[in-house]
Amino acid sequence: MNIHERQQDGQPPQTQKKQPGVESKMEPAPVHPTDYKGSGKLKDKVALITGGDSGIGKAVAIGFAAEGAHVVINYLEEDRDAEETKSMIEDRGAKCLLVKGDVSDESFCKELMDKTVKEFGQLDILVNNAAKQFPQNSIEDITSEQWDLTYKTNIYPIFYLSKLAMPHLKQGSSIINTTSVTTYMGNKELIDYASTKGAIVGFTRSLAQNVADKGIRVNMVAPGPIWTPLIPATFDEKHVEEFGTDTPLGRPGQPRDLVGAYVLLASEDGAYMTGQCIHVNGGMWMSS
């Protein structure tokens, strides 16, 4: 299917039943920016991307590498996806460091930052992208354990890594956080997930003001329904089959649809943007 075509029938029914999902098991495979042509916008920069082995993180890593950046990819356990992404980065002439581990653990976040700086001697771009979601039909089905895990995965690491990054970032550096359309529209099955993504909005806008005098920019991207491993790993077959077809553009987004927004916010093209959110959601209505 052409990426621009409306997709009335959705995806083939499928589930993976376990997070994190595996991209190599998805049908069809997500569309990545393999034909993206860089122009040196991030030449010799170093970017750290959490959740960078697949989905949105993988697409951003490929785009950054094409623009000349070296990339550190954090991932939880998907070795095959991570190695494939590393190969694609290196094919574009960039260096790639894979660091496996759980960013909900503060001590691991320190280890991740230390390895990044030891390997490359600098950090210019931090992309906080890792996330989990656990759909539930009722708030009564959300356990305290699920609530804690969602928060500890989706918002705590953004605080840990942003704080740890500060001694290494300098004027012109950039932090980019991945929030979600669910923050702005709500989602009856993703109460805890949507609320963590709302916390990211408040954190991003506040940190942007806090570090503006240092010349460090802090922005965010709010994806709509994007075809990533998180979808078959968390939704049932019916949800997957219908996923994204109710957007005005009539299809789920693909990881490659996000690359331009992240490159803009990471590069000098976005030098006058901080505390801002770019919505990449297929035309879904935003109330604010």
CA distance 46 to 169: 10
DSSP-derived letter for residue 226 is: B
Listed in order, strand segments (DSSP E) in 43-182 are 46-50, 70-75, 96-100, 125-128, 174-178
All residues at 6 or more sequence positions from 201 whose CB lies less than 8 Å from its CB, including other chains: 179, 183, 220, 277
Element (H, E) at 223: strand 217-223
Q: What's the predicted TM-score (pTM) here?
A: 0.90
**Which residues are catalytic, by number?**
193
- As a whole number of angstroms, the distance between CA 174 and CA 30 comes to 27
- The burial class, CB within 10 Å (0-12 / 13-18 / 19+), for 171 is exposed
Q: How many residues does the chain have?
A: 288
Say what the pLDDT of residue 222 is.
96
Average pLDDT of 151-155? 97
Residue 234 pLDDT grade (very low, low, confident, very high; cuts 50, 70, 90): low
* Closest C-alpha among 230, 145, 142 to residue 180: 230
pLDDT for 237 beyond 70: no
**Given pLDDT bands bounded at 50, 70 and 90, which one contains residue 125?**
very high
For the chain, what are the domain ranges? 42-280
Cis peptide before 157 (omega within 30 of 0): no
Mean per-residue pLDDT over the chain, rounded: 90
Using pLDDT thresholds of 50, 70 and 90, give the confidence band for residue 32. Answer: confident
Statement: residue 38 has pLDDT above 60: yes
Helix (H) or strand (E) holding 222: strand 217-223
Adjacent-strand bridge partners of 279: 222
Q: What is the pLDDT of residue 230?
A: 59
Residue 203's SS3 state is: helix
- In this predicted structure, the answer to whether residue 6 has a pLDDT above a threshold of 60 is no
Residue 233: per-residue pLDDT: 59
What whole-number distance in Å separates Cα of residue 245 and Cα of residue 42? 34
Q: Hey, what's the torsion of the CAs at 269, 50, 246, 190, to 10 degrees? A: -130
- Span 57-75, average pLDDT: 97
| CA 210 to each of CA 163, 204, 207, 274: distance values in angstroms, whole numbers, following the listed order | 12, 10, 5, 11
Q: How confident is the model at residue 29 (pLDDT cuts 50, 70, 90)?
A: confident
Rounded to a whole number of angstroms, the CA Rg of the chain reads 18
pLDDT tens, position by position, 267-288: 999 999 999 999 999 998 765 5
Q: Which CATH number fits domain 42-280: 3.40.30.10, 3.40.50.970, 3.20.20.70, 3.40.50.720?
A: 3.40.50.720
pLDDT score for 23? 73
Top pLDDT among 227 and 250 is at 250
18 exposure class (CB count in 10 Å sphere: 0-12, 13-18, 19+): exposed
User: How large a percentage of the chain has pLDDT more than 70?
Assistant: 86
Higher pLDDT, 13 or 104: 104
**Element of type H or E holding 230:** helix 230-234
